[in-house]
Amino acid sequence: MKAVVFHGPRQVAVEEVTDPKIEEPLDAIIKITTTNICGSDLHPYDGRAPLDEGMVLGHENMGIVAETGPGVNRVKVGDRVSVPFNLACGTCRNCNEGWTSACLRANPSGQPGAGYGYPHMGPYWGGQAEFMRVPWADFNLLELPAGHEHESDFTMLSDIFPTGYHGTELAQVAPGKTVAVFGAGPVGLMAAYSANIRGASQTFVADFQPDRLALAERMGATAINLADGDPVEAIMEATDGFGVDCGVEAVGFQAHDPAGQEHPALVLDNLVSVVRATGHIGVVGVYVPQDPDAATEEAKEGRVAFNFGAAFEKGLSIGSGQCPVKRYNRELRDLIIRGQARPSQIISHELPLDQAVDAYAEFDRRADGYTKVVLHPGQAA
């Protein structure tokens, strides 16, 4: 089959690889109809997170069940399904508790949490390909209505819609609350969108890319352009000095100023400043325990010297981590089906798989308008 294969930093290729096949009784093979490029795909692409040569990329996948193992008894060949980016066994303690993001059995390294086509998440090939193998298929796959309707909305269910939503869950967004989202990339936009779904009274989105801020405003958020000055001042002024109830971090460890200088503590400091005393912060931007290419010794060890003293004095809570997609994807799917959510509005490009190499390059240099790229393996180039 054709797949997007990683050969090293900034070296990806669309090439022929062996077809995946049923390896275990609970496996299914999915024929991919849509697969997205994620901002976190750029971590290995940029060489910031080491990935094995030969890995097929892509953890945001959906498609049609093409084959099932003998132990699969719920999903059936022909079912249209969304594949959560976390790969989980469904029977360990963490899976039992709904933490599929920290499955204790799926990652051969023994570390909690597994995924497809991603560093440190196990040997599982991604879905930027014509087919992919999904272990524990009955547990992992989310059934979708047959047909082609809502395809570009449903493709947001494998990662960024739930991930943005998870940010608002960790931040305890609820009806009437005010929210500040830092970062207007796809996850930040989905967090702002989710805040709206959850009944927030006002959502601020801070970034310095005008096209992304424009998208945030189209979703009903209030844009805060970092290029215009201190976002803390802007948000405090807009809230009569009170601050917001909830904060979402959607930037991650590579947080930098408009000039490109990295400041790993910058966003957390801003959030601690704008979130009111007793408020809540949800961190879904990725931070890592080791970062050999970081600018400082501290950052290389995963240390982020934000103002924890101020957080304590204000009595803040900080939730963090990878989203357990299964916890949210069914309800978010139902919002799409019943016409209450249209997350596809952030998609900027829908391309055939063959154009993946260029798409990676453009997305990586944050080419103007490259908000979210979606690939269709079955589509003619």
Which residues are 30's β-sheet partners?
Answer: 65, 132
Cβ proximity to a second copy: between 231 and 282 the closer is 282
**Angle of helix 210-218 versus helix 186-197 axis, rounded to 10:** 20
Smallest separation, CB 378 to a second copy (Å) = 27
Smallest separation, CB 289 to a second copy (Å) = 4
Smallest separation, CB 141 to a second copy (Å) = 9
Cβ proximity to a second copy: between 31 and 105 the closer is 105
| Backbone phi and psi for residue 219, each to the nearest 5 degrees, phi listed first | -85, 5
54, amino acid identity? G
**Angle of helix 266-274 versus helix 231-238 axis, rounded to 10:** 20
Smallest separation, CB 248 to a second copy (Å) = 14
Smallest separation, CB 323 to a second copy (Å) = 9
Smallest separation, CB 82 to a second copy (Å) = 14
- What's the rounded Cα separation, in Å, for the pair 182 and 339? 28
Residues, the chain: 381
Smallest separation, CB 170 to a second copy (Å) = 7
Smallest separation, CB 81 to a second copy (Å) = 12
| Residue 301: C-alpha distances to residues 47, 76, 211, 254, 298 (Å) | 17, 46, 34, 14, 5
Cβ proximity to a second copy: between 89 and 356 the closer is 89
Cβ proximity to a second copy: between 7 and 74 the closer is 74
Cβ proximity to a second copy: between 44 and 90 the closer is 90
Cβ proximity to a second copy: between 8 and 176 the closer is 176
Smallest separation, CB 211 to a second copy (Å) = 25
- Tokens 């930037």 belong to which residue? 251
